[in-house]
Amino acid sequence: MKSDQTSMLEVLIAEDDPVSQRILEKNMKDWGYKVIIANNGQNAWQALQKEEIRMAVFDWMMPKINGVQLCQKVRLQKKDTYTYIILLTSRDRQEDIVEGLSSGADDYIVKPFNTLELKARLQTGKRIIDLQNQLLQSKKQLETLATQDSLTKLWNRATIIKHLGEELNRSSREKKPVGTILVDIDYFKNINDSHGHHVGDEVLIEVASRLRKHIRSYDKIGRYGGDELLVALPNCSLSIVKEIAERLRKVVCEKKIKTEIGLIAVTLSLGGASSENQSVISAEGLIKASDRALYQAKRNGRNCMVINRHIQTLKKGRK
């Protein structure tokens, strides 16, 4: 019966001896591992380039690339995930064991090997791999917490500004404009005051979802603050900013938002700008230009978008 704990783990066996190869393969499959076979070091190295292999058993003596050389090549790779390596050999001198472990092997088994010992050593390797998987998952969760707005699941303020800065740096090299749209939910305070913050959260979450679905795949959107959302638009002239802003306005206002108190009609005010025809522009300057356009959209009666064609370039030394 296969073990549930090992059923998803793939093991690379690099062994040129057909008898040893068959014994290793049969036992590992019986223990629930998925097995990849390589009959020499070169084939094993090629398999390691194609697959994310987390555990490997290398015979020391193999044609083309031997097990020690293979260990050294694996350890020179820069990867987030770790490959646990067991070196298999008939050499049992202390200096051989030291050489094998120093080359990057994690464990060492002497031929002829005992199958129960091999099983136990594989289980040790799996525990280490499981631990690293947990650490990688924790790291990913921390990165998400550090960069994502917890309510809308959009980028948070610091991260969207960072993305905008990166796009502006790229645009200066590639001579392509970057656009921004600052989005504000009309009368959002009234929604919170009349229906409660939970309903306000429902509205904000749905608006964020609709906007995210209707921007280009390489655009970025984040929660800039409160009910304000910021969209960063690479390779985007003023005319394209205008098209995208109007599309975003329509996708929200043309369909009421479902909340716990019923359907609510929601509209947006949007201010857009672009670095088009600007030799030097900062993320701060572009956002300020969009903010001025947004202010004008509100003065125009809301539920509309305004494009700012006049960006004030920030001079060095001025705040």
Q: Are residues 20 and 84 in the same domain?
A: yes
Q: Give the model's confidence band at 91: pLDDT under 50 very low, under 70 low, under 90 confident, else very high.
A: confident
Q: Is 126 inside a domain boundary?
A: yes
Residue pLDDT, tens place only, 216-244:
999 999 999 999 999 999 999 999 999 99
Are 168 and 178 within 8 A, CB to CB? Answer: yes
State the average pLDDT over residues 23-41.
92
Look over the chain and give the mean of its residue pLDDT values, rounded to a whole number: 90
Domain boundary among 98, 126, 146: 146
Q: Are residues 140 and 163 in the same domain?
A: no
Domain boundary among 123, 146, 169: 146
Q: Is 111 inside a domain boundary?
A: yes
Residue pLDDT, tens place only, 176-185:
999 999 999 9
Residue with the two structure tokens 């309510």: 151
And the tokens for 77? Answer: 């790779």
pLDDT value at position 223?
97
Tell me how far apart the alpha carbons of residues 19 and 38 are, in angstroms, rounded to a whole number: 13
Domain boundary among 114, 146, 178: 146
pLDDT value at position 112?
85
Output DSSP code: residue 8: T
Q: Which residue out of 16, 106, 184, 227 is catalytically annotated? A: 227
pLDDT value at position 213?
96
Is residue 16 part of the annotated active site? The answer reads: no
Q: Are residues 91 and 230 in the same domain?
A: no
Q: Which domain holds residue 26?
A: 10-146
Of 225, 226, 245, nearest in space to 180 by CA: 245
pLDDT beyond 80 at 127? yes
CATH code of residue 200 = 3.30.70.270
Q: Give the model's confidence band at 1: pLDDT under 50 very low, under 70 low, under 90 confident, else very high.
A: very low
Q: Give the model's confidence band at 58: pLDDT under 50 very low, under 70 low, under 90 confident, else very high.
A: very high
Q: Is 316 inside a domain boundary?
A: no
Q: Are residues 177 and 301 in the same domain?
A: yes
Read off the pTM.
0.67
Q: Are residues 207 and 260 in the same domain?
A: yes
Q: Are residues 57 and 172 in the same domain?
A: no
Identify which has the larger pLDDT, 272 or 93.
272
Q: Is 271 inside a domain boundary?
A: yes
CATH code of residue 48 = 3.40.50.2300
Q: Give the model's confidence band at 312: pLDDT under 50 very low, under 70 low, under 90 confident, else very high.
A: low
Q: Are residues 286 and 198 in the same domain?
A: yes
Are 65 and 43 within 8 A, CB to CB? Answer: no
Displacement of CA 70 from its chain's centroid (Å): 30
Are 239 and 265 within 8 A, CB to CB? Answer: no
Q: Is 312 inside a domain boundary?
A: no
Q: Is 198 inside a domain boundary?
A: yes
Q: Are residues 58 and 196 in the same domain?
A: no
State the average pLDDT over residues 235-262.
96
Q: Is 38 inside a domain boundary?
A: yes
Q: Is 46 inside a domain boundary?
A: yes
Q: Are residues 121 and 207 in the same domain?
A: no
pLDDT value at position 259?
96
Q: Are residues 15 and 112 in the same domain?
A: yes
pLDDT beyond 50 at 316? no
Residue pLDDT, tens place only, 187-219:
999 999 999 999 999 999 999 999 999 999 999
> What is the tally of structural domains in the chain?
2
Q: Are residues 35 and 98 in the same domain?
A: yes
State the average pLDDT over residues 120-131.
93
Are 177 and 237 within 8 A, CB to CB? Answer: yes
Sequence-distant (6+) residues with CB within 8 A of 308 are 271, 272, 273, 289, 290, 292, 293, 296
Q: Are residues 187 and 286 in the same domain?
A: yes
pLDDT beyond 50 at 2? no
pLDDT beyond 60 at 314? no
